[in-house]
Structure 1
């Protein structure tokens, strides 16, 4: 993600669109795409298999979604090449006009902000469950009354300390040189989690009867989402041939498909309809292997959060550093001050929401709807704008009709959350 950060943030310090010579290899681009895609949705994939109505339906939905996801990535790379822009919002503004560009910036900020809240909530959940697991181990191994839980084991304190001591230092710099070393953690954590689920399936003696297909409306495209960062990744590549970008897009999505499918398949085969929305919650909390998996997964989310913040901050800095200010030499101290203030504000606001809004189902629903902009609608707009000649009225109608899939995806996400809450209340 070093090059991603350089392209998305370094633009703000120069009036030109280039920020040094891009030197990212195609292998590095595949790895960054993998890290961007392997997020919190991995924990929910076995549950999504169950909600999709079974293995066959889930795999078919995955394969169908994969076609549109890869097509969107290819279109975005092509749009970046013809517009010579290196950020998502810049490409939209250049190709689709300033009005659609403003809409993209609003959706971009809102989507990244909600993702940041969801990431902190996931990290907080993992910290809380880690503390509970350690407390459970002490209780089971000792005699007498259970030891009292200390204030420093409260996930609110640990998450706040983590934001101040780890996330903030990772997010402040304009360029994150060591991010190329931390980027491996996301893929390793995902592979470890997948491996644990597979091994646990073969070691389990109890077998569950899989339910018959009942619901086929689960949506899998959101968990493969890396479209916000793909233009910055493409702009950072040394070789920008479209054929090579197609290979990068296909390989990264196929690797994601493999990891997600194995996790969903074996998690669903292990627990059947009883699988929890968080697959790790289906295993004993005092299992050391599961504790390690939870710890690694939390670390992987922590390494992704600064990149999300950097991409969102780049849009906000674009507003603060207008064209007139960019031509002045005093840009450097003003840019540094603006960057620090925006970083602190972003972390504080997302942290407060993550701490004091325990149920983020509404956040997930909003992300599911807005994600359609970056996966389907904006890439489709690029393609139609490049191939066809639209009048203003036709473009307005097309953009109005683009709201329909957003509403549908939001309703689907809300329906899935409601069904999960109902099933959880029935279990209690």
Structure 2
């Protein structure tokens, strides 16, 4: 009788929940493109002029961008196709359905860890921008130097970051569906575009162009090593694969051809913004360009102060998307566990979602405040199922090339980072 009662409760619970795929789609083409754009246009934008300098110039850097874009777009298309054939709505569920339960659990853990560390990195970037923004505003308004700036608890950038998390990030992160993020994504994309426009305008408004544009390593193995060392920076700039399955499953038109159009269009827009920022930032400062392009400009430059403020807004609008993706994995596991014991109500699901959201923000905020020096290198790979013998061979070959290229770049960039670290000590 007890077992029968459990089965009855489980059946009622399943009947009370909407069927998979029965949710009303909330995303059109416009919303999907903007969420993809906002997921990609992140902290990497500041580093592109430096990446162009390290790559050896404009032509080499654009070549690296174009080659990387082929792999990145193909990854987006493969994930959309895998979501279509598996009828799953999240990244980890797609992997579990296509590759098996054990691989799915491993992917879920790696997926959450990846998104969690990205969330920490974004808060570190926001904290850094708040610190520099307060300093620039103080110097511009008062004319005093950094050493003369008074230290009060309410001027501390850590307090400012806490206020931002409480007032802005938390309300934006609570909603369940990703469709609501299309409104903030438009704002975030426009904010990131302002930085690109400002860099271009500053180049043309400059009286003289005397920057040294000669590459640091013009030939030999050093030039190749320098070129490959910026591939992670460039790929990180276009990274939006974590969100693509959720975006695809929320769309009205789920045809693969339409998804290819969405992927290509969003990546082309990203390519234009990143390339323009990289090219004109590099042409303005040459070999003297800072890793953070905004640090290359005077602290009292009003145009760049606005750019720094809007860039912070851009990063803040990405955080809720990342949190939503990571929270969905944890929440799914919690609901599956409790579904075996009791009825899952909408109130219970809402409370779990709110608690997870608060915990995620709180922990990432504490890490960002007390462990500010963070560096990320996150690489994931996925393989989809075959169609026919010829297509199987083609896709297998492409998968091998993708994995080997990623493994080589990971090893090469990690080796350089380790050697630089050893050199410092």
- 1:15·1:327 contact (CA, 8 Å) conserved in 2? no
Aligned to 2:358: 344
Pick the aligned partner of 2:33 from 17, 22, 30. Answer: 30
Pick the aligned partner of 1:62 from 60, 65, 74. Answer: 65
1:413 CA drift (Å) = 4.9
Aligned to 2:227: 216
Aligned to 1:392: none
Pick the aligned partner of 1:360 from 374, 382, 397. Answer: 374
TM-score (norm 1): 0.84
Query: What is the number of residues matched between the two proteins?
Result: 389
1:332 CA drift (Å) = 2.3
Aligned to 1:4: none
Give structure 2 stretches of 5+ with no counterpart: 1-13, 391-395
Matches for 1:385-396 after TM superposition, within 5 Å: 385=386
Q: 1:172 to 1:21 in 2, by over 3 A?
A: closer
Aligned to 1:286: 300
Aligned to 1:262: 276
Larger displacement relative to structure 2 (210-219 or 53-62): 210-219
Whole-angstrom CA distance in 1 between matches of 2:422 and 2:191: 28
Larger displacement relative to structure 2 (258-267 or 22-31): 22-31
Q: Deviations over 1:86-120 (max 9, x none)?
A: 11111111111111111210111011001100100
1:352 CA drift (Å) = 1.1
Matches for 1:41-60 after TM superposition, within 5 Å: 41-60=44-63
TM-score (norm 2): 0.84
- 1:170·1:176 contact (CA, 8 Å) conserved in 2? no
Q: 1:305 to 1:410 in 2, by over 3 A?
A: farther
- 1:139·1:146 contact (CA, 8 Å) conserved in 2? no
Matches for 1:87-236 after TM superposition, within 5 Å: 87-140=90-143, 146=148, 148-175=150-177, 179-206=181-208, 207-212=210-215, 213=218, 214=223, 215-217=226-228, 218-219=230-231, 220-236=234-250
Q: 1:416 to 1:273 in 2, by over 3 A?
A: farther
Q: Which structure's CA Rg is the greater one?
A: 2
Aligned residues: CA RMSD? 2.9
Give structure 1 stretches of 5+ with no counterpart: 1-10, 390-394
Q: Deviations over 1:232-257 (max 9, x none)?
A: 11111111111111111111111111
Q: Secondary structure at the match of 2:316?
A: helix
Whole-angstrom CA distance in 1 between matches of 2:341 and 2:179: 27
- 2:181·2:321 contact (CA, 8 Å) conserved in 1? no
Aligned to 1:5: none
- 1:117·1:354 contact (CA, 8 Å) conserved in 2? yes
Larger displacement relative to structure 2 (413-422 or 130-139): 413-422
